[in-house]
Structure 1
Protein backbone atom coordinates (compact mmCIF):
# COMPACT_ATOMS: atom_id res chain seq x y z
CA UNK A 1 0.00 0.00 0.00
CA UNK A 2 1.43 3.32 -1.01
CA UNK A 3 1.72 6.28 1.33
CA UNK A 4 -0.62 8.26 -0.94
CA UNK A 5 -3.26 5.52 -0.78
CA UNK A 6 -2.90 5.36 3.01
CA UNK A 7 -3.51 9.11 3.17
CA UNK A 8 -6.65 8.71 1.03
CA UNK A 9 -7.90 5.99 3.40
CA UNK A 10 -7.30 8.23 6.41
CA UNK A 11 -9.14 11.12 4.73
CA UNK A 12 -12.11 8.84 4.05
CA UNK A 13 -12.11 7.61 7.64
CA UNK A 14 -12.05 11.22 8.83
CA UNK A 15 -15.01 12.03 6.57
CA UNK A 16 -16.94 9.07 7.97
CA UNK A 17 -16.23 10.08 11.55
CA UNK A 18 -17.35 13.67 10.97
CA UNK A 19 -20.29 13.31 8.61
CA UNK A 20 -23.85 13.72 9.91
CA UNK A 21 -25.41 10.54 11.28
CA UNK A 22 -26.98 8.55 8.46
CA UNK A 23 -24.82 10.09 5.73
CA UNK A 24 -22.14 7.38 5.90
CA UNK A 25 -23.49 5.47 2.87
CA UNK A 26 -23.30 8.65 0.78
CA UNK A 27 -19.69 9.22 1.85
CA UNK A 28 -18.82 5.63 0.96
CA UNK A 29 -20.69 5.80 -2.36
CA UNK A 30 -18.65 8.85 -3.29
CA UNK A 31 -15.41 6.98 -2.62
CA UNK A 32 -16.03 3.57 -4.18
CA UNK A 33 -12.50 3.45 -5.56
CA UNK A 34 -11.14 3.33 -1.99
CA UNK A 35 -13.34 0.52 -0.71
CA UNK A 36 -11.06 -2.49 -0.57
CA UNK A 37 -9.19 -4.71 1.88
CA UNK A 38 -6.65 -1.93 2.47
CA UNK A 39 -9.36 0.42 3.72
CA UNK A 40 -10.72 -2.25 6.03
CA UNK A 41 -7.24 -2.92 7.41
CA UNK A 42 -6.68 0.81 7.93
CA UNK A 43 -10.06 1.13 9.67
CA UNK A 44 -9.18 -1.73 12.01
CA UNK A 45 -5.82 -0.16 12.90
CA UNK A 46 -7.46 3.23 13.44
CA UNK A 47 -10.16 1.62 15.60
CA UNK A 48 -7.47 -0.03 17.72
CA UNK A 49 -5.74 3.32 18.11
CA UNK A 50 -8.99 4.96 19.24
CA UNK A 51 -9.73 2.10 21.65
CA UNK A 52 -6.37 2.66 23.34
CA UNK A 53 -6.68 6.45 23.36
CA UNK A 54 -9.99 6.90 25.17
CA UNK A 55 -12.32 7.14 22.19
CA UNK A 56 -14.38 3.92 22.38
CA UNK A 57 -17.30 5.33 20.39
CA UNK A 58 -15.13 6.07 17.35
CA UNK A 59 -13.51 2.66 17.72
CA UNK A 60 -16.86 0.84 17.79
CA UNK A 61 -18.14 2.86 14.84
CA UNK A 62 -15.10 2.04 12.69
CA UNK A 63 -15.24 -1.65 13.61
CA UNK A 64 -18.91 -1.72 12.64
CA UNK A 65 -18.31 -0.02 9.28
CA UNK A 66 -15.24 -2.18 8.56
CA UNK A 67 -17.23 -5.34 9.32
CA UNK A 68 -20.11 -4.29 7.05
CA UNK A 69 -17.70 -3.44 4.22
CA UNK A 70 -15.90 -6.75 4.73
CA UNK A 71 -19.19 -8.59 4.35
CA UNK A 72 -20.04 -6.64 1.18
CA UNK A 73 -16.63 -7.39 -0.30
CA UNK A 74 -16.86 -11.07 0.62
CA UNK A 75 -13.88 -10.82 2.96
CA UNK A 76 -15.80 -11.70 6.12
CA UNK A 77 -17.63 -14.96 6.53
CA UNK A 78 -20.62 -14.52 8.79
CA UNK A 79 -21.04 -17.21 11.40
CA UNK A 80 -24.02 -19.45 10.78
CA UNK A 81 -27.02 -18.25 12.73
CA UNK A 82 -28.99 -21.45 12.25
CA UNK A 83 -29.35 -23.78 15.17
CA UNK A 84 -29.06 -27.45 14.46
CA UNK A 85 -32.27 -29.29 15.24
CA UNK A 86 -31.42 -32.74 16.52
CA UNK A 87 -34.96 -33.90 17.27
CA UNK A 88 -35.37 -37.08 15.24
Structure 2
Protein backbone atom coordinates (compact mmCIF):
# COMPACT_ATOMS: atom_id res chain seq x y z
CA UNK A 1 0.00 0.00 0.00
CA UNK A 2 1.42 3.38 -1.04
CA UNK A 3 0.93 6.21 1.47
CA UNK A 4 2.85 8.79 -0.56
CA UNK A 5 1.05 12.11 -0.82
CA UNK A 6 0.53 13.59 -4.27
CA UNK A 7 0.35 17.26 -5.30
CA UNK A 8 -3.44 17.03 -5.74
CA UNK A 9 -3.79 15.97 -2.10
CA UNK A 10 -2.71 19.47 -1.09
CA UNK A 11 -5.34 21.14 -3.26
CA UNK A 12 -8.28 19.41 -1.61
CA UNK A 13 -10.82 21.13 0.62
CA UNK A 14 -9.82 18.75 3.41
CA UNK A 15 -6.18 19.89 3.22
CA UNK A 16 -7.31 23.53 3.22
CA UNK A 17 -9.43 22.97 6.34
CA UNK A 18 -6.63 21.03 8.02
CA UNK A 19 -4.15 23.79 7.16
CA UNK A 20 -6.46 26.44 8.64
CA UNK A 21 -6.89 24.39 11.82
CA UNK A 22 -3.14 23.79 12.12
CA UNK A 23 -2.31 27.47 11.54
CA UNK A 24 -4.76 28.42 14.30
CA UNK A 25 -3.18 25.81 16.58
CA UNK A 26 0.29 27.13 15.75
CA UNK A 27 -0.78 30.66 16.69
CA UNK A 28 -2.32 29.41 19.95
CA UNK A 29 0.86 27.51 20.83
CA UNK A 30 3.07 30.52 20.05
CA UNK A 31 0.91 32.79 22.18
CA UNK A 32 0.95 30.27 25.00
CA UNK A 33 4.72 30.00 24.81
CA UNK A 34 5.20 33.79 24.74
CA UNK A 35 2.58 34.81 27.30
CA UNK A 36 3.36 32.49 30.17
CA UNK A 37 6.24 32.09 32.55
CA UNK A 38 6.88 28.44 31.87
CA UNK A 39 9.47 26.12 33.24
CA UNK A 40 12.09 24.52 31.05
CA UNK A 41 10.09 21.32 30.61
CA UNK A 42 6.80 23.04 29.71
CA UNK A 43 8.60 25.34 27.27
CA UNK A 44 10.26 22.34 25.63
CA UNK A 45 6.90 20.58 25.30
CA UNK A 46 5.31 23.60 23.61
CA UNK A 47 8.30 24.05 21.31
CA UNK A 48 8.03 20.38 20.36
CA UNK A 49 4.34 20.84 19.57
CA UNK A 50 5.15 23.91 17.47
CA UNK A 51 7.75 21.91 15.54
CA UNK A 52 5.26 19.08 14.96
CA UNK A 53 2.64 21.48 13.57
CA UNK A 54 5.23 23.16 11.34
CA UNK A 55 6.38 19.77 10.03
CA UNK A 56 2.83 18.87 9.07
CA UNK A 57 2.25 22.23 7.38
CA UNK A 58 5.52 21.79 5.47
CA UNK A 59 4.10 18.72 3.77
CA UNK A 60 2.06 21.07 1.59
CA UNK A 61 5.11 22.91 0.33
CA UNK A 62 6.35 21.48 -2.95
CA UNK A 63 10.16 21.20 -2.91
CA UNK A 64 12.07 20.99 -6.16
CA UNK A 65 12.97 17.54 -7.49
CA UNK A 66 16.55 17.92 -6.26
CA UNK A 67 15.34 18.93 -2.77
CA UNK A 68 13.04 15.90 -2.55
CA UNK A 69 16.01 13.58 -2.99
CA UNK A 70 17.88 15.03 0.00
CA UNK A 71 17.28 13.02 3.21
CA UNK A 72 17.25 16.12 5.42
CA UNK A 73 14.09 17.25 3.60
CA UNK A 74 12.13 14.07 4.28
CA UNK A 75 9.27 14.49 6.77
CA UNK A 76 10.29 12.63 9.91
CA UNK A 77 7.76 11.16 12.30
CA UNK A 78 4.84 12.93 10.68
CA UNK A 79 2.30 10.19 11.41
CA UNK A 80 3.29 10.12 15.08
CA UNK A 81 3.12 13.92 15.24
CA UNK A 82 -0.38 13.93 13.77
CA UNK A 83 -1.50 11.30 16.27
CA UNK A 84 0.01 13.28 19.17
CA UNK A 85 -2.09 16.26 18.06
CA UNK A 86 -5.18 14.08 18.15
CA UNK A 87 -5.35 13.84 14.35
CA UNK A 88 -5.25 10.31 12.98
CA UNK A 89 -5.10 10.21 9.18
CA UNK A 90 -5.46 6.43 9.22
CA UNK A 91 -8.99 6.56 10.64
Q: Same fold (TM over 0.5)?
A: no
Asked which structure has the greater CA Rg, the reply is 1
TM-score range, shorter chain: 0.3 to 0.5
